[in-house]
Structure 1
Amino acid sequence: MLRLLNIRNFVIVDHMEVEFDNGFTVLTGETGAGKSILIDALSLALGERSDAAQVRNGSKCAEISAEFDIRNYPELQEWLQENDLEGKEDERNVCLVRRVIEAGGRSRSFINGCMTTLQQLRILGRKLVDIHGQHEHQSLLRSEEQRDLLDAFAGNYKLAKDVAISFYHWQDLKERRIAWEKNTASFKEEREEVEFKSREILALNFSLDEWESLTDDHRRLSHSASLLAAVHKCVEILSERDHSSLSQINLAISHLKGLVQYDNELKNIFDMLDSVQIQLQEAVYELEHYKQGLELDPKLLQEMEDRLSVVHAISRKYRITPDKLPDLLEILTQKLDELNQIGDGKELIKEEEIAKDIYMNLAKELSVVRDSASKILAQKVTAAMQTLAMEGGRFFVSHVPLDEGNAHGMEKIQFKVSTHKGMSLYPLAKIVSGGELSRISLAIQVVTSKVGVVPTLIFDEIDVGIGGRVAEIVGELLKKLGIERQVMCVTHLAQVASAGNQQWQVSKFGDPDNGNNILSHVTVLKDEERVEEIARMLGGVKITETTRKHAAEMLLGNKS
């Protein structure tokens, strides 16, 4: 819910910072003091259209920021996270929105310090605040919001979600069937081509392990004559010549062997020569062993070369290296699976019909529940309207049938109202009077207060054309609504103002430091100040003790 609103250089406000409380807050003040400026500023912060004329005269820009506590609203936190707009780790329970309007007309929007689009700001704004009056932010004027409110009132969340899921599944199958009908020939050709390629690579019986072993063996076998000659020469040099390396080392060892006893310094040299003799002898043994393993097999070599030739031919055909053949086979297999999933037309038509039946059954069930809930909602809202200066008025939930339905069911939900007896029903959006629209919205919000999802409600112009007992009822309903939600109301009526949990007075004055330009100011009233303000609202210019007493009684009566 709304916790803080900061306004700078907006219309007749130079700087204003207002902290908000829970419950029901009333904004009062003389006509023209700027009560609606707070609402207009908040609307701008939530994405309403801006105008350069809203920048205070002589200022470069206007700036409005609002801070919201969203700790109890996981759906808001989820939306911020999905759009990469969540705050810092230790500030996830807070949402900060900011709007800057330059004197030239350009505006910028921010959510949690991140620059964002105006559309994103509007979407978030609709989830945070609902402004009832002649404002774009009034969600109840939108058909989708009316539908969601009805479903929430009826407890239809899971059923409505199932309807949406079944609809999208049906449409997916429908699109696949249409695509199949349009592309049957091309699908068949593509499948045959993929199948041929897959069979050709599978017939190769190729593996990376076999390829590495084949290339190593071929390299060795194709050079076996050279290898054999080289090994034979090495053995000859090391051990088979008259003056071979081993014979020379043995001769040196024999010369030193008898002399080591006369000079210990020869011991290390003797040991090194002895070690060399041993290692050379081991090398000769290993060369002899390697020579025995070498073979000259022209037939085997030809077989290897034939195998290599086949593998290279397939690789060149598909323009890849041999080691990429397994990857290509995997891609072809996946593609073949996708093409096979398309199936034949009969199977797709059957699946589509089953999916459609599932959707239609769920949608019909949803329609039945909606119809029942609509009657109850209409009855309760109509009853509330009778107490709000709309005697004989009627509220009705219209279900406009859709030919094939959509993700939200088989009907379009539309709230309709007749504000007085004998009048025709009109869509809620067609109500001209801001006061009547606000009071109807109040009736709907009170009836659905337990299931409402928008944390903050603001009512503007709700007291237009009413007074006396009706005004008292409006105040009582707003206070009742404030138990479940955060509620604010701009009012001229003492009966409404006295029902508030807290009251703010909006006033204007001339600024002596700035050419006596008019500025607006908000004061949070204490109990004694509330008595004076309520008395002013009752008595006008001249306030008597009787008026003050009446004001005090009204405030006391609303506390009980």
Structure 2
Amino acid sequence: MLRGLEIRDMLIIDRLELAFQPGLNVLTGETGAGKSILLDALGFVLGWRGRAELVRSGAAQGEVVAWFDLPPGHAARGVLQEAGLPEGDELILRRVNTSDGRKTAWVNDRRASGDVLRALSEVLVELHGQHDDRGLLNPRAHRQMLDLFAGVDAAAVRSAWGRLGAARKRLAEAEAALAAVRDEEDFLRHAVQELDRLDPQAGEEAVLDSRRRSMQAAERIRDDVARAHAALGLDGAEALMGDALRWMEGAADRAEGALEGAIAALNRAFIELGEAQQGVETCLEALDFDPRELEDLEERLFAIRALARKHSVLPDDLAGFAATLRDRLAALDGGERRIGELRAEVGAAEAAYASEATALSQLRHAAAARLDAAMAAELAPLKMERAVFTTQVTGAEPGPDGQDAVAFVVATNPGAPAGPLNRIASGGELSRFLLALKVSLSREGQGVTMIFDEIDRGVGGATADAVGRRLRALAQGAQVLVVTHSPQVAALGQHHWRVEKRVEQGTTFSTVVPLGVEERVDEIARMISGDVITDAARDAARALLDTPAPA
């Protein structure tokens, strides 16, 4: 519920503070007094798009503050939570507009965007008027309104639609993947066959390359090592050293010990020579290989490298690449079976959605008949008993909210063609249609402030009285604000404000004055008689207010 509104330096308002009450609040005043300015200011703080120039001439900035009561469970609490804003039993909105056009907003003393303000406004305030395209005249909202009237929840349909969408997505992805694989089936089969035949292993290319280098090096040095082995053997150093040793041992007895050192050294040399020979022999064994082995090794190494270049991968990645191709080939071979399974899933999801959507359609058709009956009952007291209101529920493209399109259409006279509310009804008729529709759709506990901007335009007498009584009934347990020029409507208000203009030092200002009992009599008398308030007008006003004359 809107508890208060404070306006500073906006249009022709310098400073104004209003405290609203539950029930039916009426605002009256002469044409041009500034009643629409109040709605402009409220729309500004709620983030609605309106006038571009709002700051009062000569002021640096304009400011509007609105505060609301938020009972537990109010929908605005969810908006605050989603936006990460503090919540409590009171909601304070503040928005500033500088003279250069910059706008800044706060929600509960925290900076907020215009989008957040508009999201809050959707659950805080409803504006109804002849030129309102945000409320009952908006055909895109008619289905939601009918659902609210019916008390139905489309959650089951939305859930079924979500499951259907997910199943269709999985099928489409599988079909696309299968089509892509089919386009490269010949390549896959040839490539997998080629890779399987070679069977490259991770790290194999490095091992083969190292072995090849060793073999190539062995080829170059083996002849030298073999010659070294011959030079150290029986045909070389070993024979010569053996001859020298025999000759020295034969002469040792006659040398009187002079050859003992040389003989000992030569014996040691034989030991070293033996170790050298063993090392050379070991090396020769290591260098010994079959030339055909080198040819085979090089052939495999070059095949691995060629296949890696062909597929633009590293040699070590060939094994993983082969596994990937096998998986794609397996997907191709098992694709038709998987596609069949997914098509069955889509069929089941479509059947489930159709069942939920059909049940929702039946509820909507039944609710449409009840709403039409409720509208007929409301239109009769509003002197529109010949008008026909119809809730059309027609088939539409299936979607998350079902397979129905809903439109409110009217025919103002029997036999006249039916059409949308805002195209068929005249100004006064439209006002009464909107009021009857709002009364029919209204549900207790919404926690929304309803504002009616001159919805009684074009009606008077008993019809205006019927409009007022319906507005008062609508305000039971709720809050309704009405801008009106009708004395019958104003008289039924539970709280009454008069909007008036004053001129100070050549500057026009607008203000709002709360009215007491006698002040209400004079204001309603002015609405009846015009500028000159007569005693007869006052008597008529008291009759409307059911207020006795003062003694």
TM above 0.5: yes
Seen in structure 2, the aligned counterparts of structure 1 residues 149 and 103 have a Cα distance that, compared at 3 Å, is same
Whichever residue aligns with residue 382 of structure 1, its letter is: A
Whichever residue aligns with residue 124 of structure 1, its letter is: L
The 3-state SS of whatever aligns with 2:539 is helix
Shift of 1:486: 0.8
Shift of 1:517: 0.7
Match of 1:533 in 2: 523
What's the % identity of the aligned pairs?
A: 38
Match of 2:101 in 1: 105
The 3-state SS of whatever aligns with 1:376 is helix
Shift of 1:127: 1.4
Shift of 1:120: 2.9
Do the aligned residues in 2 keep the contact of 1:16 with 1:521 (CA within 8 Å)? yes
The Cα offsets for residues 435-461 of structure 1, whole Å up to 9 and x where unpaired, read as 443322211121222257361111112
Shift of 1:430: 3.5
Question: For 1:476 and 1:342, how far apart are their aligned partners in 2?
Answer: 69
Match of 1:115 in 2: 111
Question: For 2:344 and 2:403, how far apart are their aligned partners in 1?
Answer: 22
RMSD over equivalenced CA pairs, Å: 3.3
Match of 2:450 in 1: 457
Whichever residue aligns with residue 157 of structure 2, its letter is: V
Which structure: larger Rg? 2
The 3-state SS of whatever aligns with 1:392 is coil
> How do 1:330-345 residues align onto structure 2 when only pairs under 5 Å count?
344-345=338-339
Do the aligned residues in 2 keep the contact of 1:391 with 1:420 (CA within 8 Å)? no
Match of 2:16 in 1: 16
Whichever residue aligns with residue 446 of structure 2, its letter is: V
Seen in structure 2, the aligned counterparts of structure 1 residues 136 and 496 have a Cα distance that, compared at 3 Å, is closer
Residues 420-429 or 462-471, more deviating: 420-429
Match of 1:493 in 2: 486
Do the aligned residues in 1 keep the contact of 2:40 with 2:51 (CA within 8 Å)? no
Do the aligned residues in 2 keep the contact of 1:43 with 1:137 (CA within 8 Å)? no
Question: For 2:447 and 2:424, how far apart are their aligned partners in 1?
Answer: 22
> How do 1:95-174 residues align onto structure 2 when only pairs under 5 Å count?
95-136=91-132, 138-157=134-153, 160-174=154-168
Question: For 1:61 and 1:373, how far apart are their aligned partners in 2?
Answer: 49
Seen in structure 2, the aligned counterparts of structure 1 residues 457 and 434 have a Cα distance that, compared at 3 Å, is farther
Q: What is the TM-score of this pair, normalised by structure 2?
A: 0.68
> How do 1:299-338 residues align onto structure 2 when only pairs under 5 Å count?
none
Question: For 2:45 and 2:427, how far apart are their aligned partners in 1?
Answer: 22
Whichever residue aligns with residue 418 of structure 1, its letter is: A
Question: For 1:115 and 1:71, how far apart are their aligned partners in 2?
Answer: 23
Question: For 2:466 and 2:381, how far apart are their aligned partners in 1?
Answer: 7
Shift of 1:95: 2.0
Match of 2:544 in 1: 554
Do the aligned residues in 2 keep the contact of 1:450 with 1:484 (CA within 8 Å)? no
**Gaps (5+ residues) in structure 1?**
190-316, 319-339
> How do 1:189-338 residues align onto structure 2 when only pairs under 5 Å count?
none
Shift of 1:169: 0.9
Seen in structure 2, the aligned counterparts of structure 1 residues 456 and 391 have a Cα distance that, compared at 3 Å, is same
**Gaps (5+ residues) in structure 2?**
185-315, 318-333
Whichever residue aligns with residue 385 of structure 1, its letter is: L
Question: For 1:393 and 1:454, how far apart are their aligned partners in 2?
Answer: 31
Seen in structure 2, the aligned counterparts of structure 1 residues 343 and 103 have a Cα distance that, compared at 3 Å, is farther
Seen in structure 2, the aligned counterparts of structure 1 residues 342 and 110 have a Cα distance that, compared at 3 Å, is farther
Do the aligned residues in 1 keep the contact of 2:178 with 2:335 (CA within 8 Å)? no
Match of 2:32 in 1: 32
Do the aligned residues in 2 keep the contact of 1:436 with 1:462 (CA within 8 Å)? no
The 3-state SS of whatever aligns with 2:374 is helix
Seen in structure 2, the aligned counterparts of structure 1 residues 130 and 545 have a Cα distance that, compared at 3 Å, is same
Question: For 1:17 and 1:73, how far apart are their aligned partners in 2?
Answer: 28
The Cα offsets for residues 462-489 of structure 1, whole Å up to 9 and x where unpaired, read as 1211111001101110000000321011
Is 1:367–2:355 an aligned residue pair?
no
Is 1:415–2:405 an aligned residue pair?
no
Do the aligned residues in 1 keep the contact of 2:418 with 2:424 (CA within 8 Å)? no
Whichever residue aligns with residue 58 of structure 2, its letter is: G
Question: For 1:350 and 1:472, how far apart are their aligned partners in 2?
Answer: 62
Match of 1:43 in 2: 43
Seen in structure 2, the aligned counterparts of structure 1 residues 395 and 368 have a Cα distance that, compared at 3 Å, is same
Whichever residue aligns with residue 17 of structure 1, its letter is: E
Question: For 1:436 and 1:47, how far apart are their aligned partners in 2?
Answer: 30
Shift of 1:496: 0.5
The ranges of structure 1 where at least 4 consecutive aligned residues each deviate by more than 6 angstroms after the TM superposition are: 185-189, 340-343
Whichever residue aligns with residue 379 of structure 1, its letter is: A
Shift of 1:152: 1.8
Do the aligned residues in 1 keep the contact of 2:396 with 2:403 (CA within 8 Å)? yes
Task: Give the one of 443, 448, 459 matched to 1:466.
Answer: 459
Task: Give the one of 496, 499, 504 matched to 2:497.
Answer: 504
Do the aligned residues in 2 keep the contact of 1:52 with 1:104 (CA within 8 Å)? no
Match of 1:74 in 2: 74
Task: Give the one of 437, 446, 458 matched to 2:439.
Answer: 446
Task: Give the one of 469, 475, 493 matched to 1:476.
Answer: 469
Do the aligned residues in 1 keep the contact of 2:74 with 2:447 (CA within 8 Å)? no
Question: For 2:166 and 2:114, how far apart are their aligned partners in 1?
Answer: 32
The 3-state SS of whatever aligns with 2:546 is helix
Question: For 2:385 and 2:392, how far apart are their aligned partners in 1?
Answer: 21
Shift of 1:422: 4.3
Question: For 1:453 and 1:357, how far apart are their aligned partners in 2?
Answer: 35
Do the aligned residues in 2 keep the contact of 1:132 with 1:437 (CA within 8 Å)? no
Match of 1:5 in 2: 5
Question: For 1:543 and 1:77, how far apart are their aligned partners in 2?
Answer: 48
- Kindly tell me the number of residue pairs found equivalent between the two proteins: 411
Shift of 1:406: 0.5
Whichever residue aligns with residue 103 of structure 2, its letter is: S
Q: What is the TM-score of this pair, normalised by structure 1?
A: 0.67
Do the aligned residues in 2 keep the contact of 1:153 with 1:451 (CA within 8 Å)? no
Seen in structure 2, the aligned counterparts of structure 1 residues 428 and 61 have a Cα distance that, compared at 3 Å, is farther
Question: For 2:427 and 2:110, how far apart are their aligned partners in 1?
Answer: 35
Match of 2:298 in 1: none
Question: For 1:169 and 1:380, how far apart are their aligned partners in 2?
Answer: 37
The 3-state SS of whatever aligns with 2:162 is helix
Whichever residue aligns with residue 442 of structure 1, its letter is: L
Whichever residue aligns with residue 538 of structure 2, its letter is: R
Question: For 2:422 and 2:103, how far apart are their aligned partners in 1?
Answer: 28
Seen in structure 2, the aligned counterparts of structure 1 residues 432 and 47 have a Cα distance that, compared at 3 Å, is farther
Whichever residue aligns with residue 149 of structure 2, its letter is: F
Seen in structure 2, the aligned counterparts of structure 1 residues 6 and 401 have a Cα distance that, compared at 3 Å, is same
Seen in structure 2, the aligned counterparts of structure 1 residues 94 and 436 have a Cα distance that, compared at 3 Å, is farther
Do the aligned residues in 2 keep the contact of 1:50 with 1:101 (CA within 8 Å)? no
